């Protein structure tokens, strides 16, 4: 079957079923699925996969089987009642296989007062000009329930328009990506779901992500001595003792930003020249104004560039905090404690010259140039995404751990992890179309 005929079939099907795609996204967004509460969303995706005629596997991750894997990140949340859902569409044989991956977990919408609309209402605001379908607002619209639905409708567009692939096409709807992916995508690989290529339809629109930095979470615990605020001199204020550590971390962030660079991470925003970050994300100390706080905690997300290692970063953290503690009479005798938790990963790098990546970029270029017989595509004149590194962590790194070439690209929007998150609905259809056409080229089409 000629390529232009395949494209026309896919586009015609999507034009007819675009409203159904948007409705499915709205139903999924209306399910609050904050990390640890994904059960209902995963049941919804199970039903979608079954309705699409896929062979469906619903399974809960096995923490004991996963915990020794070097890529495992322990969210600390039990896996019971939080299954992963995999849908398999077997190919006719002789082609390459492809995984389309997405997660249904979302981050908390708090603080709710910052939102101008209900984060779980999936409200649609009409578009203007070429963006005819408008925007859908809600937690998870961009990150990344729109990608999960685009994956589904890409497969349906192929199946229901009578296109049979040679290679297997695998859909994955997974849990807890936001908490490191240990019980989600890693569990899928551990269960044996391997392929010749892996795409996560994460919210990357202007870039196709082919790298991310190493990431490490750590906590610094400073013990002081509680006392009544009226006799504060009898205590030791843990918040005050922790303050120089916070200041040091801020200065270290600026120092690293100035001297550590990895070019792919800076392609999207070259003016910023930012390849790595050291973010003081949580500070806790005390619970009453009239009490000297006897304990302070500082929680940090730190990223690092290729050439650095997790072990090396841990040594630097210990050295810097240890040196700072020597300047305080209290901390010399009561040294701060460093605890590592949550995210920990070495940098992930995908060779951008790999045929998988190059074919995907060529496919997007061809589709942007191709005439659209249904006049429904809003992005024909928009610049192509560029290959770039992401400064946020992605489940694509887990594909790399199994030797599977991977990339991330997905619908356009804004506000992810913030208030009034939204997705451009035309972009959801565009992603489904691109994935479907790419699958015909990567997996091959049966005659």
The CB density around residue 116, as the number of other CB atoms within 10 Å, is: 8
What letters, b where the CB count within 10 A reaches 16 and e where it falls short, cover 244-261? ebbeebeeebeebbeebe
pLDDT in tens, 320-367: 999 999 999 999 999 999 999 999 999 999 999 999 999 999 999 999
Query: Do the beta carbons of residue 215 and residue 305 sit within 8 Å?
Result: no
Q: Are residues 370 and 318 in the same domain?
A: no
The verdict on pTM exceeding 0.85 is yes
Provide the pLDDT for residue 130: 61
pLDDT in tens, 220-276: 999 999 999 999 999 999 999 999 999 999 999 999 999 999 999 999 999 999 999
Q: Are residues 59 and 204 in the same domain?
A: yes
Provide the pLDDT for residue 382: 79
Q: Are residues 307 and 167 in the same domain?
A: no
Report the distance separating Cα 139 and Cα 30, nearest Å.
9
Query: Do the beta carbons of residue 109 and residue 29 sit within 8 Å?
Result: no
The CB density around residue 145, as the number of other CB atoms within 10 Å, is: 33
Q: Are residues 200 and 291 in the same domain?
A: no
Report the distance separating Cα 251 and Cα 85, nearest Å.
44
Burial class, 350, CB count within 10 angstroms (exposed 0-12 / middle 13-18 / buried 19+): buried
pLDDT in tens, 52-99: 999 999 999 999 999 999 999 999 999 999 999 999 999 999 999 999
Provide the pLDDT for residue 368: 84
Domain end among 308, 328, 345: 345
Q: Are residues 287 and 331 in the same domain?
A: yes
Query: How many independent structural domains does the chain possess?
Result: 2
**Average of per-residue pLDDT values in the chain:** 95
Query: Do the beta carbons of residue 73 and residue 345 sit within 8 Å?
Result: yes
Domain that includes residue 74, residue range: 3-211+348-443
Give the pLDDT band (50/70/90) at residue 376.
very low
Q: Which residues have C-beta within 8 Å of that of residue 231, sequence separation ≥ 6? A: none
Q: Are residues 147 and 49 in the same domain?
A: yes
Q: Are residues 153 and 69 in the same domain?
A: yes
Q: Are residues 37 and 141 in the same domain?
A: yes
The CB density around residue 370, as the number of other CB atoms within 10 Å, is: 16
Give the pLDDT band (50/70/90) at residue 390.
very high
CATH number at residue 338: 3.30.70.360
Q: Are residues 369 and 307 in the same domain?
A: no
Q: Are residues 115 and 258 in the same domain?
A: no
């Amino acid at each position: 079957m000629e390529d232009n005929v395949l494209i026309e079939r896919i586009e015609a099907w999507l034009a007819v079923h675009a409203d159904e795609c948007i409705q499915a996204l709205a139903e999924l967004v209306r399910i609050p699925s904050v990390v640890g509460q994904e059960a209902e969303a995963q049941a919804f995706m199970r039903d979608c996969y079954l309705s699409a005629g896929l062979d469906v596997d619903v399974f809960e991750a096995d923490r004991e089987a996963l915990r020794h894997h070097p890529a495992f990140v322990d969210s600390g949340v039990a896996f019971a009642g939080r299954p992963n859902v995999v849908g398999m569409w077997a190919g006719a044989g002789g082609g390459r296989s492809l995984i389309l991956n997405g997660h249904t977990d979302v981050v908390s919408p708090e603080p709710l007062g910052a939102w101008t609309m209900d984060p779980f209402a999936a409200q649609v605001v009409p578009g203007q000009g070429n963006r005819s379908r408008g925007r859908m607002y809600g937690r998870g619209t961009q990150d990344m329930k729109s990608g999960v639905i685009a994956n589904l409708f890409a497969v349906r567009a192929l199946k229901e328009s009578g296109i049979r692939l040679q290679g297997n096409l695998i859909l994955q709807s997974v849990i807890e990506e936001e908490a490191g992916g240990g019980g989600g995508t890693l569990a899928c690989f551990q269960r044996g779901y391997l392929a010749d290529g892996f795409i996560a339809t994460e919210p990357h629109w202007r870039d196709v992500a082919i790298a991310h930095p190493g990431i490490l979470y750590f906590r610094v615990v400073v013990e002081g001595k509680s006392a009544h605020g009226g006799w504060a001199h009898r205590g030791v204020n843990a918040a005050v003792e922790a303050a120089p550590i916070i200041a040091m971390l801020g200065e270290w962030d600026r120092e690293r930003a100035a001297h550590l660079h990895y070019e792919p991470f800076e392609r999207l925003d070259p003016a910023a020249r930012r390849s790595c970050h050291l973010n003081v994300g949580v500070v806790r100390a005390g619970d009453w104004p009239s009490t000297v706080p006897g304990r302070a905690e500082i929680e940090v997300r730190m990223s690092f560039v290729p050439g650095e290692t997790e072990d090396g970063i841990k040594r630097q953290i210990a050295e810097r905090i240890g040196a700072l503690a020597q300047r305080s009479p209290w901390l010399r005798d009561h040294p701060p404690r460093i605890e590592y938790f949550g995210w920990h990963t070495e940098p992930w790098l995908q060779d951008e010259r790999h045929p998988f990546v190059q074919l995907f970029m060529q496919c997007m270029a061809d589709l942007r140039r191709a005439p659209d017989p249904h006049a429904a595509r809003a992005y024909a004149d928009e610049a192509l995404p560029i290959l770039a590194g992401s400064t946020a962590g992605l489940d694509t790194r887990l594909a790399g751990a199994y030797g599977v070439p991977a990339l991330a690209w997905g619908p356009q929007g804004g506000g992810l992890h913030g208030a009034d998150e939204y997705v451009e609905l035309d972009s959801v259809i565009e992603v489904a179309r691109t994935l479907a056409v790419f699958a015909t080229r990567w997996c091959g089409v049966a005659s």
